Amino acid sequence: MRKIKFQNDSQPAINDTTLNQMQDNIENEFNKKTISNIEELRAFDLEENDIIKTLGYYNEFDGGGAEYQIVNDDTLIEDGSFIVKLNNGLKAKLIIPESNTISIKQLGAKSYDGEKYNIAPYLANYQNYLDEKFVKLYIPNGVWHCSPFNWVKTFSLIGNKPFVEGDNNNHTNTYITSLEDNQEYVFYIGDTSEVPTFYVEDFSIDNIIVSSGEPEVKGNGYKIGYKTGKQLTDCAVHMKYCNKVDIGKISFENIIGPALKICSCWEIDIDKLFLSKVSNLEG
């Protein structure tokens, strides 16, 4: 590529280091490849150190598009979220953006679209990645089903937007609901042992609605509706041995059984808590 000359007589001169950095950034953008989805990524003939951008995870513009760096590292284990193995044996490693926030759609998760999808495996991939680097996980609007999931590391969940109390037409919220009938819990944060050996600290949850209900059509989307018999045998969210908890806005809706249990926790900051059709709280 021909070098680009920068010149502006009205501005101070740009030193060689800055000029080279600008040139490298431009060349990186020109050299970046763009493809449709993860399936195409696996089959694409890529080389080590290539930077490639997908337009979606399953389909173009499905919200799962991301950038990856191609690496040759046998120590990396494919999880289909942060590490994708290519057909040629190399691996694509998810590039974390400057915002330090990734979408659960970029990990391969799907929200309810008439069919239930379990997000627990993708939450597990996210939690495993936290050993390498702390990042925030954004969960867009929609209904997301989850089998019992145990948080054991510092994490951060961010929903789509501040939910509106009593707004029955608001289908732009982020709902996380139990996958099965008589499920024990949705989230258990901390050590599930009778005698805990560790605690989880500095985690945060914001703009999330937790439920045990079922999706129903509302406007051009879905929201959670009450379902008799779909109960939680423990509770929706159970916190045990947690420290420095930061909950911005959390709502519990349509839950048969306790919504929230708090046991031996310190420094819990809950900004806004909403309850709708909930049996009880325990603390």
Helix (H, G, I), strand (E, B) or coil at 265: coil
**Among 155, 267, 163, which residue's Cα sits nearest to residue 224?**
163
Could you tell me the pLDDT band of residue 230, with boundaries at 50, 70 and 90? confident
Q: Classify the C-alpha dihedral 43-49-50-54 as positive or negative.
A: positive
Give the model confidence (pLDDT) of 179-227 as tens digits. 998 899 999 999 999 888 999 999 999 999 999 988 988 777 788 887 7
Give the model confidence (pLDDT) of 110-144 as tens digits. 999 999 999 999 999 999 999 999 999 999 999 99
pTM for the full predicted model: 0.86
**Cβ–Cβ under 8 Å, residues 136 and 96:** no
